[in-house]
Chain A
């Protein structure tokens, strides 16, 4: 296993001095260490390149791809396909949570790997539903693998590490900062063959992932109820840049690559 050295500039950073009050509030409950820190769990961490995790990337995909990723869990590498991210608000409505669960259920039954960010709300509903349906799920963290955010998802993270896969681009010991989550959202767009925003406000971190999915040329779906919400401006803007309105989770299946690789098929061209 490769030893990861954290640059001194990251070790010495004063987090509190760098961010707004709102950003600091985000951390008021703080990420916590995973149980059994610096013992067996860390020994299970695999260090991977994007090539190992996803296969070769084109230049558009390489632009924001992390140079190294860390994973924990039994899922095969390179990752199985297809993979769909279900993302949205941490403070989701009851309707948003049930929609996320419905989408995750439909896709899991069709053997789609559900990707999300382990956050409260929509992410949690997506992960939990995928596992409940006997499907597979990947959590892409904004923290190193030995930390948990939010604290209440400690058990969920442990369960995904034990039976599925957890990925982070941040090495153990990397300082936890709000901007990590923006980077994580881009990585989640890269990992996913398509992304679905179920519910999100004007400043939601999910929007970073949405824009990155559009830049990558990957299908981005926005659930119908937020497109219809006249108080939100971002859905209309994203639709002008190629996002699609999702009215039925089954429509996502039409744009997904098959589980087998494209290599043998393209040889016929």
Chain B
């Protein structure tokens, strides 16, 4: 569990690691590419899939470390997905989910309101979009981002890939590496999400 927490911190910084040392984003992409045939989410990565990195919760300075963009770029360079398009931008900051109490975490509607599609993906409208994120907590960011993209590209199928997902109860921790497919569902009664698993 402690190792998993350290990996999560490392994913957020994209340092070099391993022997020989390579960037964490490249290691993740290499792992996806090398194990593609056995990954339960292999069908997410179609030859025409456009990878869209999820913006940070805060505003970004020029040349800021943007980990989802780095993971998406590493995936595309590994031949996974057709191209990267950082078309989603954060126009107003929201609280960081990871450092907020559950009751204070931004909801999907907050993310939807704070995100914009600022330029069209080059070429014809995409049929397949894959949102790429580093850490998934409740999935509120992904739900807000997916709805913003659906508004701009109503014909596209939109899925999401996260390098890592948190567990709220340590007893739910199974393994450091456990590729799986799940769902994030909107819960209207509380305006938040249900993430499974």
A: residues with CB less than 8 A from B are 55-58, 60, 63, 211, 214-218, 239-242, 244, 255-258, 261-263, 265-269
Contact = CB atoms under 8 A, between A and B. Distances in A.
Contacts of A217: 12-14, 64-65, 67
Contact of A258 (B6, B31, B63): B6
Contact of A269 (B21, B31, B56): B31
Contact of A242 (B24, B58, B67): B58
Contacts of A241: 58-61, 93
B24 A266 contact: yes
Contact of A63 (B13, B15, B63): B63
Contact of B3 (A58, A242, A256, A265): A265
A60 B65 contact: yes
Contacts of B3: 265, 268
A56 B14 CA distance: 11
6 contacts: A60-B63, A215-B61, A242-B57, A255-B9, A258-B6, A265-B17
B167 interface: no
A257 B6 contact: yes
A240 B58 contact: yes
A257 to B, nearest CB: 6
Given A214-B64, A255-B9, A263-B18, 19 more contacts: A58-B15, A63-B63, A214-B58, A214-B61, A217-B13, A217-B64, A241-B59, A241-B61, A242-B58, A257-B10, A258-B2, A262-B15, A262-B17, A265-B6, A266-B7, A266-B24, A268-B176, A269-B7, A269-B27
Interface in B135-157: none
A266 B27 contact: yes
Interface residues of B, number: 35
A266 B17 CA distance: 7
A266 to B, nearest CB: 4
Contacts of A267: 18-19
B16 interface: yes
Contacts of B39: none
A114 B18 CA distance: 27
B18 to A, nearest CB: 5
Contacts of B9: 255-257
Contacts of A57: 16
A150 B31 CA distance: 51
B122 interface: no
Nearest to A243: B58
A5 B117 CA distance: 51
B61 A216 contact: no
B87 interface: no
Contacts of A215: 61, 63-65
B114 to A, nearest CB: 11
Contacts of A255: 9
B121 interface: no
Contacts of B6: 257-258, 262, 265
B23 interface: yes
A265 B61 contact: no
Given A214-B61, A269-B177, A261 B13 contact: no
Nearest to B164: A269
Nearest to A263: B17
Interface string B1-42: 011001101101111111101011001100100000000000
Contacts of B2: 258
Contacts of A60: 14, 63-65
B99 interface: yes
Nearest to B65: A217
A242 B60 CA distance: 8
Contacts of A56: 15-16, 21
A240 B105 CA distance: 16
A72 B61 CA distance: 34
Interface in B41-56: 56
B177 A268 contact: yes
Given A217-B12, A242-B56, A269-B176, A261 B17 contact: yes
Contact of A263 (B14, B21, B31, B61): B21
Contacts of A268: 3, 176-177
A214 to B, nearest CB: 6
